[in-house]
Amino acid sequence: MRVGFIGAGRMGAPMVRRLAEAGHQVQALGRDDEKRAAVAELGAQPVDSAAAAVAGADVTIVCVFTDDQVRELCPGLIDAMPAGSVLVLHTTGSPRTAETLAERAAARDISVIDAPVSGGPHDIAAGTVTVFAGGDESAVARAREVVQSYADPVLHVGPVGAGQRVKLVNNALFAAQIGVVAEGVRLGDRLGIEEATLLTALTHGSAASRALGGIAATGSADAFIARVGEFIGKDVAVVRQTVSELDGDLGQLESLLDAATK
């Protein structure tokens, strides 16, 4: 398939590589000579504008960092995309952003899928990153052939916006688990247990989790939080904003999220 790609950075670059290796014709945006050279090394055709990236594309993939970037970029993309194509949004953001874009796109016979990912660049490179896809079933089916080049599983979780809602709950729980481990480390310190010893031991007990495994591999809770803080902090901010918009609250998760994003 012909694929337009915007956002060939930390997460997007391994997606582009796997798409090209799977035989898809990828047109990826590079805003300067250095970035276009990097795109070419990934096996894609480098282009210098968003409009050129989406020209003739069956599926356009957006993998930028923030929801604000999605809101700024995507209205123009939709206006330039071919009728009948699919826009896949990998950026974690507000469900309302995806819903608003879907309404605009429907007028041009374009489908929008909000498809945030769970995992990192290493998971994408291995083809095992998880995607929570929200959108029309037929649109998800059309995009699946492309997205499965780097994602497994691709989970259809409901209509447009549902992917973001599932991802926000996922991230809230992951951040809370980091907060729980950080509190456990502090308890261990008060009990006189060295942090590295404690973390290694806990990975073999009933307290084991992906969050704990990541922290243990890093060596300390503080070092892990420093490493992932920018990404976790961004996603937690979206969780809080979304819950506030729905007149809800995070309940007992709130203090744990504070511990994970200090």
pLDDT, tens digit (0-9, with 9 covering 90-100), for 45-56: 999 999 999 999
CATH of domain 165-260: 1.10.1040.10
**Cα–Cα dist 28/47, whole Å:** 6
pLDDT of residue 61: 98
What percent of the chain stands above pLDDT 70? 98
At 160, is the pLDDT very low, low, confident or very high (cuts 50, 70, 90)? Answer: very high
State pLDDT tens for residues 193-251: 999 999 999 999 999 999 999 999 999 999 998 888 777 787 788 888 888 877 778 87
Domain 2-159 fold is Rossmann fold (3.40.50)
Query: For the chain, where do the domains classified as CATH 1.10.1040.10 start and end?
Result: 165-260
At 172, is the pLDDT very low, low, confident or very high (cuts 50, 70, 90)? Answer: confident
Please state the rounded mean pLDDT for residues 171-184.
Answer: 90
Whether the pLDDT of residue 23 is over 70: the answer is yes
Whether the pLDDT of residue 260 is over 70: the answer is no
At 259, is the pLDDT very low, low, confident or very high (cuts 50, 70, 90)? Answer: low
Query: For the chain, where do the domains classified as CATH 3.40.50.720 start and end?
Result: 2-159
The pTM assigned to this predicted structure is 0.90
pLDDT of residue 249: 80
- Residue 99 buriedness (CB in 10 A; 0-12 / 13-18 / 19+): middle
pLDDT of residue 256: 74
Whether the pLDDT of residue 8 is over 90: the answer is yes
pLDDT of residue 261: 67
